[in-house]
Amino acid sequence: MGRRTILLDGGMGRELQRMGAPFRQPEWSALALIEAPGYVRRAHDAFLDAGADIITSNSYALVPFHIGEERFAAQGGALASLAGRLARQAAGAKAGARVAGSLPPLFGSYRADLFDAARAADLLVPLVQGLAPHVDLWLAETQSAVAEVRAVRAALGADPKPLWLSFTLEDEAADAATHPRLRGGETVAQAIEAALALGAAALLFNCSQPEVMGPALAAARTAAAGTPLPLGVYANAFPPQPKDATANDGLDELRADLTPATYLDWARRWVDAGAAIVGGCCGIGPDHIRALAAALP
């Protein structure tokens, strides 16, 4: 009998860095796409070989925050298309593999306070147009607030592909284990309400430490009770991030304790708590995904 848990890939940026691809701030994972796209294909292949069912396009850093306003205006759509093509080529080599089109936070990760609704469509439309021919589903990831995912839904228009929404959680708050919240301050229940209203095909939590994922799953299960909304988790390997953090605005250290074996322990808890989709975010590599693929139900 095959595995029931849908397995995502891990963190693209840190895998590119580990492989020796061009990698620096502020471009982050976009630099390899621009200068040496063969590394991106190799990273996708590594996650697929490890057992991932879904790989995510390397489009997370294709926003002005990372590549600059001028480069985004001139090349944003073309780079998104390249990211989509590379993922599709890799997925085509593995039967049943799917591609998720990454739609990132537009104005800096973790910073709901910087979100500019008036500019959102101008940044999302080139990404959507570039990725659309190559992806099987949309993944709006590391979203800090409901306003961000509403903008994504509007930019997708009538596109019929499934939309997965993935929110990042406060992981430094003293009460994070009892009152999980999005980094923008909204509750998990508000995230569920928005996901259902927007017709999302799944709701996930990502780019937060493993310790806060269980409480968020529990709150999500309660809020989504009686609905068929699948839930998922892909945590990062960062230490807890303060409220004023901006992900990728510097190179964070990775936790040494999150080995493939210990990450698997966390993943088992998430599956037991109702997660149907599991993977990894920043710092979670192919070896972690291989451990999940071998052991999750």
pLDDT digits (tens, 9 = 90+) for 237-270: 988 766 555 555 566 789 999 999 999 999 999 9
- What is the model's pTM? 0.95
Instruction: Tell me the mean pLDDT in the region 227-244.
Output: 87
Instruction: Write down the mean pLDDT value for the chain.
Output: 95
**Given a cut of 50, is residue 1 above it in pLDDT?**
no
Q: State mean pLDDT over 1-18.
A: 92
If one counts every other C-beta atom within 10 angstroms of the C-beta of residue 222, the result is 11
Whole-angstrom distance, CA of residue 84 vs CA of residue 88? 6
Q: What are phi and psi of 37, to 5 degrees?
A: -65, -15
The whole-number pLDDT of residue 2 equals 64
Strands 163-167 and 54-56 come out as: unpaired
Tens of pLDDT, residues 140-162: 999 999 999 999 999 999 999 99
Q: What is the mean pLDDT of residues 83-110?
A: 98
The answer to whether 152 and 124 have CB atoms below 8 angstroms apart is yes
Mean pLDDT of 93-99: 97
**Exposure of 198 in the CB half-sphere (CA atoms within 13 A):** 28
Q: What percent of the chain has pLDDT over 90?
A: 91
The mean per-residue pLDDT over the stretch 47-64 comes to 98
Which one-letter DSSP state was computed for residue 87? H
Bridge partners, 103 (sequence order): 140
Q: What is the mean pLDDT of residues 28-49?
A: 98
Residue 240 confidence (pLDDT)? 74
Alpha-carbon gap, residue 212 to 274, rounded angstroms: 15
Domain residue extents for the chain: 6-294
Annotated binding site: which residue ranges? 207, 281-282
**Taking a C-beta distance cutoff of 8 angstroms, is the pair 275, 217 a contact?**
yes
How far is CA 231 from its chain centroid?
A: 14
Mean of pLDDT values over 198-202? 98
Q: Which CATH architecture has domain 6-294?
A: Alpha-Beta Barrel (3.20)
DSSP string, 94-146: STT-EEEEEE--SS-BT-GGG--HHHHHHHHHHHHHHHTTT-SEEEEEEE-SH
Cα separation, 77 vs 126, in Å, equals 5
Buried b (16+ CB within 10 A) or exposed e, 243-254: eebebbbeebeb
Residue ranges of the annotated binding site for Zn(2+) are 207, 281-282
The pLDDT score that the predictor gives to residue 81 is 98
CA angle, residues 116, 119, 123, in degrees to nearest 5: 115
pLDDT of 223 > 60? The answer is yes
Residue 246 is predicted with a pLDDT of 56
Q: Helix, strand or coil for residue 175? A: coil
Q: What is the pLDDT of residue 244?
A: 59
